């Protein structure tokens, strides 16, 4: 059975520009990043945070600085979008 938080789903949540934006090296540290995201997802955390708020073109935008939480949020959003 396919789990929404498996290695394939986490690897599919990577986006172009993530290395620069989060200050990480996806090519070199790919396995460690996937492992950290899997650990964070299965450990059960209380809430996403800290949340950074910025204004872009007059709109308030929220972002996460923790890359593992960002990947989990992308996977959850994709999972919900496919279901509804």
Q: What are phi and psi of 52, to 5 degrees?
A: -95, 135
Global pTM? 0.80
- CB-based contacts of 10, cutoff 8 Å, min separation 6: 34, 37, 38, 71, 75
pLDDT tens-place string over residues 7-23: 888 888 999 999 999 99
Query: What's residue 5's pLDDT?
Result: 79
pLDDT tens-place string over residues 11-60: 889 999 999 999 999 999 999 999 988 888 888 766 788 888 999 999 99
Q: How far apart are CA 68 and CA 50, in angstroms?
A: 13
Residue 31: strand, helix, or coil: helix
Query: What's residue 6's pLDDT?
Result: 83
């Amino acid at each position: 059975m396919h789990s929404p938080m498996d290695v394939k789903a986490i690897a599919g949540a990577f986006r172009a520009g993530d290395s620069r934006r989060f200050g990480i090296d996806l090519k070199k540290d790919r396995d460690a990043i996937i492992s950290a995201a899997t650990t964070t997802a299965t450990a059960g955390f209380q809430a996403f945070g800290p949340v950074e708020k910025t204004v872009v073109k007059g709109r308030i935008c929220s972002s996460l600085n923790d890359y593992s939480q960002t990947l989990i949020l992308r996977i959850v959003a994709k999972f919900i979008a496919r279901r509804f």
